[in-house]
Structure 1
Amino acid sequence: MKRWPPTTVKARCVAVFTVHGLGCDPKEYTTRDGQCCPVCYEGTVVRRDCTQQLGTKCGPCEYGTYMNQPNGLNKCFPCTSCDPGHGLFVQQECRATHNTVCDVLPGYLCKSFADDTGCSLAEKHKLCAAGERILEPGTSRTDTVCERCKPGYFSQDGVNCTAWTM
């Protein structure tokens, strides 16, 4: 078996350590210069990369931003806003560790829903036309279901069908 001289082994180990930066451990991130540093926790981001003497310096997310995962980023994510003009309201406020959760106002239906942020796109419930009635009222997750009035009945407002009278 061939033995490497100590200096060669040492140089080889340094080379392996430098290459290691390309594939850091799950609780580490890769810096711009290829070093592996410990990640910051939820609610914080990197303010200064680690050095051989000091660990990663993390700082809290500012108001209006959040970070919901361990990370090696230097900026928090901006909080989502829930626009009442588009049928949304704040169900849960944004915090340093989680985004805003939006839900729909009465009279609206959610068209795009995600578990972590709630509703991101709302639409007004369909209105039934004259000659129709509301079979099933709309909810936050389903649209209004309309039904034509039976013969001998009418509906001017698209809500209820009323019998014709003579």
Structure 2
Amino acid sequence: MLGCFKTKRIEMVTLLFMLAVFPVVYSCDPATQYENHGECCNKCGPGTRMSSDHSGCFDPHCMPCQEDEYQEAFTEKIICEVQPYCDQNKNFEGSTNRSKTSLSQCICKAGHHCSSKECLTCVPHTKCGPGQEILSTGDHIRDTVCQACPANTFSSDSSAESKCKQWTVCDKGSKAEANGTSTSDIVCGKYRVHTMNVNMESPTRKERYVIFLTFRSAMTVILLYFSI
């Protein structure tokens, strides 16, 4: 019993000695705090920055990031990060109402896509030529993908949006005068009805005189016949 008491006493003395020699070290939360002269001070929240005087360890003086600036995480920095400049001369959309808590990527304007993986500039979408149609429409990252017109369809112009059109079906009473191709439609035409032209013009003066003489000769012959 006495031996057990001595053992516990030795353990307690050892613990007190260690506490005296090795003081307790408090660990700051690296996400929201920073160490300053042995104290864990609070950082400023996302979208803000620390005032230049670093006033207030536990209640810091924080300033909001300005336009086209951002701060993603808690920070002890006195300046915010700068958003990238989106140059409209390089076919980027103008930057408005950008986030102050995250990095805003430059977006290509409508009808354009990034020219490279780094997206330093934007270029117009490819137009599918005659005889082609859109397989997949381009966006701000990818270009347009084209494919040949399917059977019985055509496309006669260049476009970055259109699909091929179906050939026209000729109505009853008409026929195809020109077959459809991948770049042109069927041309329909009516069936032609052939008629004979009969000359119904009036006889000329000479023709009338000949007819008169013929008629008079015939009458003379008839009269002579009956007078005999």
CA distance in 2, matches of 1:157, 1:105: 24
2:112 maps to 108
Which structure is higher in strand share? Answer: 1
> Alpha-carbon deviation of 1:28?
0.8
Structure 2 unaligned regions, length at least 5: 1-10, 165-182, 188-228
> How much identity, in percent, do the aligned residues show?
22
Q: How far apart are the structure 1 equivalents of 2:125 and 2:18?
A: 74
Query: What residue is the counterpart of 2:209 in the other structure?
Result: none
Between the two proteins, the alignment pairs up a number of residues equal to 151
Deviations along 1:113-163, one digit per CA (max 9) or x if unpaired, are: 9xxxxx88644212335x542334634254322234689x99785447225
- Find the structure with the greater CA-based Rg: 2
Distance 1:45 1:74 in 2: 5
> Secondary structure at 1:103's aligned position in 2?
coil
Provide the rounded CA distance (Å) in 2 between the counterparts of 1:125 and 1:149: 19
Determine the C-alpha separation between the residues in 1 that align with 2:71 and 2:63. 11
- Residue 44 of structure 2: aligned partner: 40
Q: Pick from 67, 91, 104: which aligns with 1:63?
A: 67
SS in 2 for 1:104: coil
Q: Which has the higher contact order (CA 8 A, sep 6+)?
A: 1
Provide the rounded CA distance (Å) in 2 between the counterparts of 1:133 and 1:70.
Answer: 53
Of residues 79, 93, 97, the one that matches 1:75 is 79
> Which runs of 4 or more aligned residues in structure 1 lie more than 6 Å from their structure 2 counterparts after TM superposition?
5-8, 153-156
Contact 1:132 1:146 in 2 (8 A): no
For the pair 1:138 / 2:137, whether they are aligned, the reply is yes
d(CA) in 2 for partners of 1:68 and 1:112? 26
In the superposition, the TM-score normalised over structure 2's length comes to: 0.47
**Please, which of 27, 33, 36 is the counterpart of residue 28 of structure 1?**
33
Deviations 1:1-37 (A, max 9, x none): 2415978734522xx33xx4xx521421245x67532
Query: 1:88 Cα shift?
Result: 2.0
CA distance in structure 1 between the aligned counterparts of 2:19 and 2:55, rounded to whole angstroms: 27
Q: Which letter does structure 2 place at the counterpart of 1:78?
A: V
Tell me, which stretches of 5 or more residues in structure 1 are unaligned? 114-118
Go from structure 1 to structure 2 and tell me whether the alpha carbon gap of 1:46 and 1:93 turns closer, same or farther (over 3 Å shift): same
RMSD: 4.3
Q: Say if 2:65 and 2:80, in contact at 8 Å, map to a contact too.
A: yes
Q: Deviations over 1:37-57 (max 9, x none)?
A: 2111122112344677x6433
Mean Cα displacement is larger for which, 91-100 or 72-81? 91-100
